[in-house]
Amino acid sequence: MTLTPINSGWIEVICGSMFSGKTEELIRRLRRAQIAKMQTIIFKPRIDSRYSDTHIVSHNQLKLESHIVDSPLDILTLSINAAVVAIDEAQFFDNSILDICKTLANQGKRVVVAGLDTDYRGIPFGPMPHLMCEADYLDKLRAICVQCGNPATYTQRTSADAEQIVVGELDKYEARCRNCYEPPGEIK
């Protein structure tokens, strides 16, 4: 049995590789909060413009209207009237996102954060490790390995790009399991 805090805020983190359903799960939780007539607000970083400039969109095209922000401070300002604050693609924010999430939770808000836990090199991504440690609830989702069908926890970059942040989809990334993942520079 999971107890839900009463008269208290908390932080939920949804993490995993690309194609694991993070945004889909974020949308599911927000829709349930909306059915419960809770005031919700959703944010995503400006860098994530893959599907829409005005919505968070899952790979299977589920979507909810969102606010694009340049800085985590914008989230604090825009969330004053919300009971539930959702943040997608949190790995793209700087480390100040952690303090913003803690402040919102301390204000009694439910904060739901989704993001990649590791980058294409298998290295912890941006503020996600800190958010995972601070989470009151933590869910690590798995995708399906495109090579063998096993549960996948790695994001394999298939393009030659070397920067840490390269926004893309199936054109640049695949989900891979531990056995099929090929770290950059290694050839199996």
Catalytic residues: 89
Give the span between the Cα atoms of 95 and 178, in whole angstroms: 28
Give the span between the Cα atoms of 120 and 105, in whole angstroms: 30
DSSP at 27: H
Place of tokens 């989230």: 75
Residues 6+ apart with CB under 8 A from 66: 42, 43, 44, 54, 55, 56, 86, 88
Give 64's strand partners: 56
